[in-house]
Amino acid sequence: MADVVALWDIALSNGIHKVKFEHGTTSGKRTITIDDEAVSGFAYEYTLEIDGKSLKKFVEHRAKTAKVWTPVIDGVGHRVVFEKDTMDVWCDGEVLDTAGEFVEGGSETHFEVGGRSCCIRAVSSGKRREGIIHSLLLDDREIPEAIE
């Protein structure tokens, strides 16, 4: 009989992945399941690392390098991710074609989601510690950033 000893939700550009770690109470068998796909292997110390970082450090780094919005368009939920380091825009796990332009006070990255016009606007906060503020506009309406 296996006991679930850890569960993690990992937010990446291509979606949120569920990681489950089970440890057999009598057999000692250990199983890691990613999005319901079993992965063989075991260790005696249970930590989750992503790109060589602990889960906590990865999440902290991710919050600095990506912005996420979850707009609902015509009743369908979407997940839009902006990678600040590569300037890639992902929607529902796929990289989108974008067009960028400089505008007064910053820049805009234009793309479509669900046949609707979207734009990520980047403007300076005017404060060195805050840096650049990124906002998602859907049909010229600002969408609040998702909390992950």
**Which amino acid belongs to residue 81?**
V
The two three-digit tokens of residue 46, written as one number: 């249970």
Residue among 91, 96, 84 nearest 133 (CA): 84
CATH 2.40.128.180: does it fit domain 65-143? Answer: yes
Outline which parts of the chain fall under CATH 2.40.128.180: 2-46, 65-143
Stronger pLDDT, 148 or 136, i.e. the higher one: 136
Query: 8-65: per-residue pLDDT in tens?
Result: 888 888 888 888 888 777 777 778 888 877 555 544 456 778 888 888 888 888 888 9
CATH topology of domain 2-46: Lipocalin (2.40.128)
Greater model confidence, 10 or 2 = 10
Mean pLDDT of 81-94: 95
Longest dimension (CA), the chain: 65
First to last CA, the chain: 32
- The pair of structure tokens assigned to 38 is 């079993």
